[in-house]
Chain A
Amino acid sequence: RKEVEQDPGPFNVPEGATVAFNCTYSNSASQSFFWYRQDCRKEPKLLMSVYSSGNEDGRFTAQLNRASQYISLLIRDSKLSDSATYLCVVNMNTGNQFYFGTGTSLTVIP
């Protein structure tokens, strides 16, 4: 079983739509959680960390459900510039082992 699993998509949504991505992780000892964004032919960059209480950054909301071992990312009012692959990342915090999901592809259509 993979450490981190994501629906690869692709998600094709119109501008202004709301879209949600989910991610599950297998190890209940996981400590830190992140969403990264990767543009085509570019390196991944941190979008936001995910905290137990949930956190929001503008149009982006991330939530963590430890009991069910899943993480979500909600994007409101989608922009064309949101088109990218979104990677779910989990850190065990022991040995600095980061586990990456396969990524979810998002295309926002005019």
Chain B
Amino acid sequence: SAVISQKPSRDICQRGTSLTIQCQVDSQVTMMFWYRQQPGQSLTLIATANQGSEATYESGFVIDKFPISRPNLTFSTLTVSNLSPEDSSIYLCSVEAVASLTGELFFGEGSRLTVL
């Protein structure tokens, strides 16, 4: 299993500002995933953060809006830039279980963002 610490757990931001979310894992992992869960919706993958290379973004998500850092194998940040009310959501950091034959994901507790 993996223990993932994510912060902030919640924040209220003004439109036009940015919020950076941090994710710390208690073990080294190759890939870290950033998901968004909008109210009443399921999880949507924003991007995959790889150490030593640029993040891989999913369709509909761009680096200018969601810049990601991955300085080492245990840490990543996601910034949500130029905030608008539509960015109000829960953002979740996730890693795949190490040495898992079938693959399973562990999640941080999420960062609940409200944009006014």
Contacts and interface: CB of A to CB of B under 8 A. Distances in A.
Interface string B91-110: 01000100000111111111
Count class of interface residues, chain A:
20 to 34
Contacts of B63: none
A110 to B, nearest CB: 26
A12 interface: no
B41 interface: yes
A32 B103 contact: yes
B42 interface: yes
A45 B107 contact: yes
B73 interface: no
B48 interface: yes
A19 B112 CA distance: 31
A16 interface: no
A34 B104 contact: yes
Interface string A83-105: 00001010101011110111100
B45 interface: yes
Interface of B: 31, 33, 41-45, 48, 92, 96, 102-110, 112
Interface of A: 32, 34, 41-46, 49, 87, 89, 91, 93, 95-98, 100-103
15 contacts: A42-B110, A43-B108, A43-B109, A44-B43, A44-B107, A46-B105, A49-B102, A49-B104, A87-B42, A91-B102, A91-B103, A93-B103, A98-B33, A98-B103, A100-B42
